[in-house]
A = this chain, B = another copy of it.
């Protein structure tokens, strides 16, 4: 997605440890018009899939999930980060390991909002090791929902998450695919 790649080059900041900071337009400050274009793009890419719900994780997944929901006209469900003490029988809960923070967190979704009749499109802002997406797939599985696909705004292709998703047979679409950060520069897959 050209306007997204252009924006990453223009406003993204590279930090040590292969961290790409895009908080000026994606996950702290949000450009709503870019976000709407992102929803439209996911609309095109998953147009053949049956989708009854969009599933994401708070907080930074909510914006791209919502604009995708605006295109498909289906409810958007965001998994909440559980408090350590919370044990709730009314929720589907799973663990998500964060490589960045080296901690395991839990996320949950109220059982009311996912069922065996659902076919969910998982949307998230970033894909690196894929732990968040694995967690969301786990929650969909616990609800016996079908996973119609996985839509990612920015994919770091070299950290294993995308390979796992594709190897496990899921339809993955990423709008910007980063090949590497050689010479402290963002290089996208397929560029000269």
Contacts of A59 in B (CB 8 A): 58-59, 62, 78, 80
Query: Interface readout for A57-76 with B: 1 if CB under 8 Å, 0 if not?
Result: 01100110011011001111
Number of interface residues of A (CB under 8 A): 30
On whether the beta carbons of A70 and B110 are closer than 8 Å, the reply is no
Please give, as numbers and ranges, the residues of chain B lying within 8 Å of A112 by CB-CB distance: 24, 29
A35 located at the interface, meaning its Cβ lies under 8 Å from any Cβ of chain B in the complex: yes
B32 pairs with A73, CB closer than 8 A: yes
CB interface residues, A 37-88, toward B, < 8 Å: 58-59, 62-63, 66-67, 69-70, 73-78, 80
Number of copies: 2
Kindly state the separation between the CA atoms of A113 and B29 in the bound complex, as whole angstroms.
7
Min CB–CB distance A122 → chain B (angstroms):
15
Q: Which applies to chain A's interface (DSSP): helix, strand, loop or mixed?
A: mixed
Contact of A28 among B66, B67, B110 (CB under 8 A): B110
For the complex, what is the distance from the CA of A34 to the CA of B62, rounded to whole Å? 15
User: In the complex where A58-B58, A78-B28 touch, is A70 in contact with B33 (Cβ < 8 A)?
Assistant: yes
Give Cα distance in the complex from A66 to B112, angstroms: 25
Judge whether B73 and A113 touch: CB under 8 Å. no
CB pair B76–A32 under 8 Å, yes or no, is: yes
Residue in contact with A80 in the complex, picked from B28, B31, B73, B109, CB distance below 8 Å: B28
Contacts of A144 in B (CB 8 A): none
Q: Is the CB of B66 within 8 A of A23?
A: no
Contacts of A33 in B (CB 8 A): 70, 73
Q: Which residues of A are in contact with B by a Cβ distance under 8 Å? A: 23-25, 28-33, 35-36, 58-59, 62-63, 66-67, 69-70, 73-78, 80, 109-110, 112-113
Known: A29-B76, A32-B67, A62-B62. 11 other contacts (CB 8 A): A24-B113, A28-B80, A28-B109, A30-B62, A32-B66, A32-B75, A32-B76, A59-B59, A59-B62, A63-B66, A63-B76
